[in-house]
Amino acid sequence: MPKTQTYFVCSECGADYLRWSGKCEACNQWNTLREIKIAKDDERSLSKGEVIVPKTLEEISTNDYERIASGISEFDRVLGGGIMPGEVVLLGGDPGIGKSTLLYQVVSAISAQAIFASGEESLEQIKTRASRITASFSPRLKFIAEINVDSILTAFESSPAKLLIIDSIQTMYSADFPSSPGSIVQVRECAMKLQQFAKSKGVAVILVGHVTKEGNVAGPRMLEHLVDAVLYLEGDRFQSHRILRAVKNRFGSTNEIGVFEMTGEGMKEVTNPSALFLSERVNSPGSAVVPIVTGTRPLLIEIQALTSPTTFGFPKRQSVGFDLNRLNMLVAILCKKAGLKLDAQDVYLNVVGGMKIQDPAADLAVCLAVASAYCDSALPQNLVAFGEVGLSGEIRSVAQYERREMEASRLGFDKIVSFKTSRMLHEIINNLKGRE
């Protein structure tokens, strides 16, 4: 029996220590160190005798890699135009949100040879799931039902391809590290092996990652650092649409989003997201529409607000899809600069469609939605509003005005309220009060 070495690994950040302590010095979290035993014979050491010669930029040879187009434009948009050879992508999302379904459609549409390795389903289950998707799978696509990452890499070398999909990284294990699949050591080391394999062979690898109850990818934080792109598939399980967004992308922008609709036949691309988000809109008090820009795409999003007299001494503020601290600031501006008596009103705000807005251009629409709900007066049906609101109540300019205006005009919104129509918030609110 080989001797073992005991380590203590932080479950939050993956830092390891020789002794247990109550606090992780790397991430400052308490009671997160877990005992891990690793065989000494399996410990990796730096190679000895190998001479590494540093190179200048002129001495480094590069290959003219072309991105691998998946055939799904919404997926390629988020990645920056397609999958880069040698890229490692981590795809996370809630259970049942459609991660595997989306990847099945990606590999069915891709023209390059690919291998799909599943540690969660048998080959029979894979075929049953694939038969529910109305897509023709290429004969160049092969499937593996295996959880041993070394066996998967060996099988990949015997049948080389340009894309390897691992579903999921939490089910993988390596015999070099005696711990159960899903443990911090196994997730970290298996991901490291796959990352080194991708970089050395120029093979694109997509890892599916489970998420915790907080919404983060389960496992050590290092998992998100060693990959090239981190994607999240978001949405309400009880609604049909899904949003794919990137929080990290070394080969593209993190501002792009992809919109899909979950159907009985798989994921369907939504080419006109603005129409989807506004399809069930009812023009009532507290409703406002704002054109936001995500990457290169303008979207029209509905914002709903509700005010009601507070039953306690401290008014309540709640927000879904919009920063709560910013909502508190805008409510204070409405009280101080626009004369709305919201200090005795509960304020609730909701961004329709499950979107999360970080664009400061939504400030004006939020103010108008809250003021409309407070005054019980609906805004015009064909009105959109956008602009950043300052602490003095001034309306500030935002970028890409023409693109926002064009998207609004395309969907029939011909009345625009922005920094070009009025420079002060109280003027707009007074006009709203005059319509009561």
Q: What pLDDT digit, counting tens, does each position of 252-285 carry?
A: 888 888 999 888 878 889 888 888 888 888 889 9
Distances (CA, A) of 270 to 73, 144, 159, 237, 301: 10, 31, 35, 17, 15
Mean pLDDT over 80-99 rounds to 90
Question: What's the confidence (pLDDT) of residue 205?
Answer: 95
Q: What pLDDT digit, counting tens, does each position of 403-426 carry?
A: 999 999 989 998 999 999 888 998
Instruction: Kindly report the CATH number that applies to the domain delimited by 73-270.
Output: 3.40.50.300
Distances (CA, A) of 86 to 66, 129, 201, 227, 433: 11, 28, 7, 11, 59
Question: What's the confidence (pLDDT) of residue 48?
Answer: 52
Peptide bond preceding 131: is omega within 30 degrees of 0, i.e. cis?
A: no
Nearest CA to 208 out of 96, 317, 131, 111 is that of 96
Distance, in Å, from the CA atom of 156 to the CA atom of 281, rounded to the nearest integer, reads 50
Q: How confident is the model at residue 45 (pLDDT cuts 50, 70, 90)?
A: very low
Instruction: Kindly report the CATH number that applies to the domain delimited by 275-434.
Output: 3.30.230.10
Q: Does the structure show a pLDDT above 90 at 1?
A: no
Mean pLDDT over 27-51 rounds to 66
Q: How confident is the model at residue 186 (pLDDT cuts 50, 70, 90)?
A: confident
Question: Amino acid identity of 96?
Answer: G
Residue 386 CA to its chain's centroid (Å):
24
User: Percent of the chain beyond pLDDT 70?
Assistant: 90
Q: How confident is the model at residue 306 (pLDDT cuts 50, 70, 90)?
A: very high
Distance, in Å, from the CA atom of 89 to the CA atom of 94, rounded to the nearest integer, reads 17
Distance, in Å, from the CA atom of 289 to the CA atom of 402, rounded to the nearest integer, reads 17
